[in-house]
Amino acid sequence: MKILVTGGAGFIASQIADAYVRDGHEVHILDNLSTGFEKNINPKAHLIKSDISSPAILDLFAKEKFDVVNHHAAQIDVRKSVNDPIFDANTNILGTINLLQSCIKTGVKKFMFASTGGAVYGEQEYFPADEKHPTNPISPYGITKLTIEKYLYFYKNEYGLNHTILRYANVYGPRQNPFGEAGVVAIFTSKLLKNENPIINGEGKQTRDYVFVEDVVKANVITLNDENSDIYNVGTNVETSVNELFAKLNEIAGDKASEKHGPAPKGEQARSVITSEKLLKKFNWKPWIHIDEGLRKTFDYFNSKI
């Protein structure tokens, strides 16, 4: 198949592109390189330096005739979405609609979308959340992701464009950017390797479901040929607090740092954990990498880059 991976120079999507290349697909990567890196791009993939909001996207789609679009390009920082919701909406909603319009005009068969299994649910009513959990996002980031999901439902009903929505838990692993505000594992790891003390936001009791990037890649591979338009959670069913996460990473680093706390940020949930039972039953997907193994793999990766 001919697949366009948006955001394919970034942390998650570059590894998905790698997997698609290994499976023999023709892979094109669309990335403006604002947060992604050319070094992440598979040498067998075709890089298109452009933005998802560009008017030239339609010409690109008309020329290449993609079979599938795997859409990961996005503004991913929850805190930035709170501080600048207009930028968040312009990027995540209008940019995606630009892609969708190009899809229906050029015969794209399927649209795969990286949504969020934490932010779309908001403060959970039960734990872990399944795909039927009420969606009450408390951040503009979560709102934009949910909005795109609704647009995909519209494009399926109006134009027959099939879709797969993957609601990720908190993804971590090699290639994660340690210099932004998102990605606590990469940020903590980078600080520890520099012999700096990470700062835990708030009390550190807030919990997240941390899923290793290799498992997320597998979810994108096994759902590629799914002909049903559906939504799947991609998580581990395990809660880990930020304090626990710090302790695990600090132990790997040799217990050199101490637990230090800073102000609590706005727009963040207290608890977040999802179940991937639906993905397990349909595709036999499960999180193969336990968090202790995943953190060690991540730490070793960043250590090798020093």
Provide the annotated active-site residues.
141
244 alpha carbon, distance to own chain's centre? 22
Give the 3-state secondary structure percentages of the chain, helix then strand then coil, rounded to 5.
Answer: 40, 20, 40
Start-to-end CA distance of the chain, whole Å, equals 37
What amino acid occupies position 270?
A
Answer whether 48's CB lies under 8 Å from 33's CB: no
Calculate the alpha carbon distances from 60 to 32, 42, 49, 104, 281 in Å. Answer: 14, 20, 11, 13, 37
d(CA 65, CA 4) in angstroms, rounded, equals 10
Closest among 83, 78, 269, 92 to 182, alpha carbons compared: 78
